[in-house]
Structure 1
Amino acid sequence: MSAPAGLAAEPMTHKQILKALSGLLLVLFVAMISSTVVSVALPQIIGALHGSQSQYTWVVTASLLAATAATPIWGRLADLFSKKLLLQISIGIFMVSSLACGFAQNTEQLIAFRAIQGLGMGALQVLVQVVIAAMISPKERGRYNGYLGGVMAVATVGGPLLGGLIADTSWLGWRWCFFVAVPFTMAAFVLLHRTLNVTTVRRTDVKIDYLGATMIAAGVSVLLIWVTFVGNSFDWLSWQTAVMAGGGVVILVLATLVEARVPQPVVPLKVISRRTPALAIVASLAVGMAMFGGAVFLGQYFQIGRGYTPTEAGLLTIPMMAGVLLSSTISGRMISRSGRVKPYIVTGSLVLTAGFLVMSTMDHDTSLLVIGAGMLMVGTGVGMSMQNLVLAIQNTVPLHELGAASGAVTFFRSLGGTIGVSVLGAILASHVATGIAQGLTKAGIPVSGSGGNSLDIQALPAPIKAIVQVAYGDATGHIFLVSAGIAAVGVIAALLLPPIQLRDTLDLEPAAPAADGEPVRSA
């Protein structure tokens, strides 16, 4: 029987781990900052390219969709091939696509290049988690989650600030929001080459489930495209809905049948159907929908709904990132001491839901203190739940299934984020359109040809500009109320999790057979 590819299972010292982590964390930083740098400047980018609200949503959704569809494939490949080589390939994809995004001449090109960028982003996010999990036992991993939380916080706080400064600097321009990722990417590639030592054992029995991967990507894509256009381009009850929604579900059902039969599935059903992984995946799906879907529109709220500059909008998001940094660091160290993870996941899910409820009260003139308190609670909830849900799943699988399991949870979390952005974007667009139409009618301004749908807010006449700002400001609260409802599903899933005691070994002890029928070997 050929051995699985992976890292050497010898325990690493704290110094060795930190040395290897330096390259991995920079890789994660590059993947995260690419989204956060762009997010705060996106209203200006779409305005400069003369895009619409639907295209605004798709610039975000395209990268999330590609990352979501590709994540389980990258995770499975990490169990079969060199993790280091896969990381280097994904860095290359990410760097080239970032350059292409910076040179985009219209929103259609930008959306296409963002989709390619998403392939690299998805790979980086899951492969970093897989490599870290292969180096550090679940119990000890809690303390290192603090470093992950710190990187997340710096990237998410520093990204909007950097993006705002770039967007506000006339001699740079918005294109540098994409170009700025290139030097970070090159540095990550060099650092990773020097610090990450991977022991790869060649396998001769590798069978990639191309059919299953293609069907999963196709099914998810069809459903997300339907969610984006339903209610605007066609009605909920229409033949388009029947074809797209029904077709997407049928494809995913067929994909499930394929995954149940192939010897090496992309998404191993025997792993994710166990109680702890299944509930953790449901909670991750809810957290991803709520967090990604809600947070992505904050920059738009501050700039269009409140009239702040991109730099000011970035500064105003600091409470959320402070919550992520503090809660992930503190909870990570407490988890490493006790080995218990469920209390922190439950608490984080509750705080996340409460934060969205606070933010659901916001409109175009809500106090920034109230909004800041809500963002702090949301960040705290995310920091306590998101990485720990991954940890709960990784604790239940043997070392040779680590990539597939990590890929599965990252897939569903990204899927939740993609669905969240699409659904909440559609809700926001609908409320904004209604608010603008009502405002224009009250002001006696013809709705047709008014330019009220433009995101280039500064180019609008003063009366229309005021109406658009009020419409965006008042509509944003609705999407956070929906986010609170979604996050509540995560609370239920977290409460149903069994008590989890994290193991202090890299691999499971020999016991039950693995998903593919091979015996589970200890590290």
Structure 2
Amino acid sequence: MIPLPLLRDRTIVACLALSAIIGTGLFAMTSYLPTYFQMAYRTSATVSGVVPIATVLGMLVGNLVTGFLVGRTGRYRVYPIIGTILGAIGMLGMSVLPLGLPLWAPAAVMTFVGLGTGAFMNLIFTVVQSAAPREALGTITATTNLVRQIGSTLGTAVVGGVVGFGVAALLPSSLDASTLTPQLVHGSTDAVQDAVALIYHDVYAPIFAVLAGVYALGIIAAILLPAGRLSDEHPAESVQESAVPAA
């Protein structure tokens, strides 16, 4: 299904790695952010959606800015490097945020993560399409998206498993993890709410730290991405075809 000779191109391999980083580092986490904020920050289901929205807005801004800059200069390598650095710093910041802060604090940090991710999220599709032969454009585009989906699926499963086992192991005997819901916690005593908030904070903090490490791997992939301009990234066949004068 995937032409293996394409994997000899370092540009393509680096873009595939960056695509996996996005799926594993961000998409896998967003599914669990609302529950985290409902439990650790004691917000309602509606208010807990503020942070994912802030993340998406950051991604939108990062995407628009890098798209504009790359469109003017054709150079792209610096943006995945900056983006993965911002993502790593943001996830690391989430791992050290103390309890008791207002919701705007994690929202600002996740906006930072979204800004960094948006800096290369769609850019890598353009880069990988420029590096691939014309007849393989559909294949390499689908492969890049597939790698992202695989990273998201595996990351979501791992994060969900860690959260589930971690919370169950730390909950007091008076609470059952299988029936624990935000509504149940919010209706409990202040002592129970404090205990659950601390448990969720302690379970999620190392997960954010690990995801910072995932983005750090993305920094390596971005550095290994060959420098160049999008206008220069054409396969030899296409260059030869363009050199032939029209009849």
Band the TM-score falls in, shorter-chain normalisation: 0.7 to 0.9
Rounded Cα–Cα distance in structure 1 between residues aligned with 2:33 and 2:75? 34
What letter corresponds to residue 454 of structure 1 in structure 2? Answer: T
Change (3 A) 1:367 1:311: closer
Q: Specify the SS of the correspondent of 1:413.
A: helix
1:330 matched residue in structure 2: 65
Matched, 1:499 2:227: yes
Aligned residue pair count: 240
What letter corresponds to residue 229 of structure 2 in structure 1? Answer: Q
Rounded Cα–Cα distance in structure 2 between residues aligned with 1:450 and 1:326? 42
Rounded Cα–Cα distance in structure 2 between residues aligned with 1:391 and 1:424? 30
1:454 matched residue in structure 2: 179
Rounded Cα–Cα distance in structure 2 between residues aligned with 1:359 and 1:409? 28
TM-score under structure 2 normalisation? Answer: 0.87
1:397 matched residue in structure 2: 132
2:245 matched residue in structure 1: none
Rounded Cα–Cα distance in structure 1 between residues aligned with 2:241 and 2:4? 20
Rounded Cα–Cα distance in structure 2 between residues aligned with 1:496 and 1:508? 20
1:274 matched residue in structure 2: 9
What letter corresponds to residue 178 of structure 2 in structure 1? Answer: N
1:222-301 map, 5 Å: 266-301=1-36
Structure 2 residues without counterparts, runs of 5 or longer: 243-247
Cα displacement (A) at 1:351: 0.7
The question of whether the paired residues in 2 share the 8 Å contact of 1:304 and 1:457 is answered with yes
Cα displacement (A) at 1:509: 5.5
Q: Specify the SS of the correspondent of 2:231.
A: coil
Rounded Cα–Cα distance in structure 2 between residues aligned with 1:369 and 1:457? 20
Cα displacement (A) at 1:504: 8.0
Change (3 A) 1:450 1:367: closer
The question of whether the paired residues in 1 share the 8 Å contact of 2:133 and 2:237 is answered with no
Rounded Cα–Cα distance in structure 2 between residues aligned with 1:429 and 1:491? 30
Change (3 A) 1:401 1:433: same
C-alpha deviations, 1:105-145, integer Å up to 9, x for none?
xxxxxxxxxxxxxxxxxxxxxxxxxxxxxxxxxxxxxxxxx
Change (3 A) 1:350 1:432: same
Rounded Cα–Cα distance in structure 2 between residues aligned with 1:423 and 1:459? 26
What letter corresponds to residue 30 of structure 2 in structure 1? Answer: A
What letter corresponds to residue 355 of structure 1 in structure 2? Answer: G
Cα displacement (A) at 1:316: 3.5
The question of whether the paired residues in 1 share the 8 Å contact of 2:50 and 2:107 is answered with no
Rounded Cα–Cα distance in structure 2 between residues aligned with 1:297 and 1:509? 46
Rounded Cα–Cα distance in structure 2 between residues aligned with 1:478 and 1:271? 36
Q: Specify the SS of the correspondent of 2:132.
A: coil
The question of whether the paired residues in 1 share the 8 Å contact of 2:20 and 2:147 is answered with yes
C-alpha deviations, 1:376-411, integer Å up to 9, x for none?
110111110111122211111133211110111111
What letter corresponds to residue 489 of structure 1 in structure 2? Answer: L
2:159 matched residue in structure 1: 424
Matched, 1:510 2:237: yes
Change (3 A) 1:465 1:280: same
Rounded Cα–Cα distance in structure 2 between residues aligned with 1:335 and 1:312? 36
The question of whether the paired residues in 2 share the 8 Å contact of 1:283 and 1:494 is answered with yes
1:298-309 map, 5 Å: 298-309=33-44
Aligned with 1:480 (options 183, 208, 223): 208
Rounded Cα–Cα distance in structure 2 between residues aligned with 1:331 and 1:321? 15
1:112-151 map, 5 Å: none
C-alpha deviations, 1:328-375, integer Å up to 9, x for none?
111101100100111111111111111111111135424434312311
Cα displacement (A) at 1:431: 2.2
Q: Provide the identity percentage.
A: 28
Change (3 A) 1:316 1:493: closer
Whose relative contact order is higher, 1 or 2, with alpha carbons under 8 Å and at least 6 apart? 2
Rounded Cα–Cα distance in structure 2 between residues aligned with 1:493 and 1:480? 20
Higher radius of gyration, 1 or 2: 1
Matched, 1:415 2:150: yes
C-alpha deviations, 1:218-275, integer Å up to 9, x for none?
xxxxxxxxxxxxxxxxxxxxxxxxxxxxxxxxxxxxxxxxxxxxxxxx1111113311
Cα displacement (A) at 1:476: 1.7
The question of whether the paired residues in 2 share the 8 Å contact of 1:305 and 1:473 is answered with yes
The question of whether the paired residues in 1 share the 8 Å contact of 2:51 and 2:110 is answered with no
Q: CA RMSD in A?
A: 2.5
Matched, 1:490 2:215: no
What letter corresponds to residue 510 of structure 1 in structure 2? Answer: E
Rounded Cα–Cα distance in structure 2 between residues aligned with 1:482 and 1:454? 28
Change (3 A) 1:476 1:511: same
Change (3 A) 1:316 1:276: closer
Aligned with 2:96 (options 343, 351, 361): 361
Aligned with 1:378 (options 92, 110, 113): 113
Cα displacement (A) at 1:430: 2.7
TM-score under structure 1 normalisation? Answer: 0.43
